[in-house]
Amino acid sequence: MSGLGVALFHTTSAALRAEKTLLKHAVPTKLVPTPREFSSDCGMALRFEWGRAEQVRTLLAEARVEIAGLHPL
């Protein structure tokens, strides 16, 4: 376990909206190529500290961004 996790999205627009939302709420995050073991949905995923998974889920739900999956790395 790396202590990191990724959020997956169905579209690039959703990934970019999610990135902006998290950064606005001071949640450190980085856009990375989607790890192939999870999904081929969208080229980009957001990596973040897995300890913040619940916060990420809540913030993105409030911003109406649909998450395709949250996974620890």
Partner 1 sequence: MIYLDNAATSWPKPPEVLRAVAEFLEHAGGNPGRSGHRLSIAAGRTVYDAREAVAELFHSPDPLRVIFTQNATHAINLVLQGLLHPGDHVVTTGMEHNAVMRPLRALEKAGVRLSVAACSSDGALVPAAMRQALSSGARLAVVNHASNVTGTLSPLTEIAEIARRQGTLLLVDAAQTAGVIPIDMSALGIDFLAFTGHKGLLGPPGTGGLVLGDRVDAALLHPIMRGGTGSRSESEEQPEDLPDKFECGTPNGAGIAGLGAGIRWVRSRGVEAIRAHEVALTRQLVEGLLAIPDVTIYGPADATQRTAVVSFTIRNRRVSEIGLRLDEEYGILTRVGLHCAPAAHRTLGTFPEGTVRLAPGALTSREDMDATLCAIERLVKG
Task: Report helix, strand or coil for 47.
Answer: strand
HSE of 50, CA atoms in CB hemisphere, 13 A: 11
CB of 43 to partner 1, least distance (A): 5
Among 4, 11, 53, 67, binds partner 1 (CB under 8 A): 11
Distance CA 25, CA 42 (A): 24
Q: How far is the CB of 50 from partner 1 (least distance, A)?
A: 20
Residue 10 or 52: which CB sits closer to partner 1?
10
Q: Which of residues 28-47 bind partner 1 (CB under 8 A)?
A: 31-34, 40-45
CA distance 56 to 50: 9
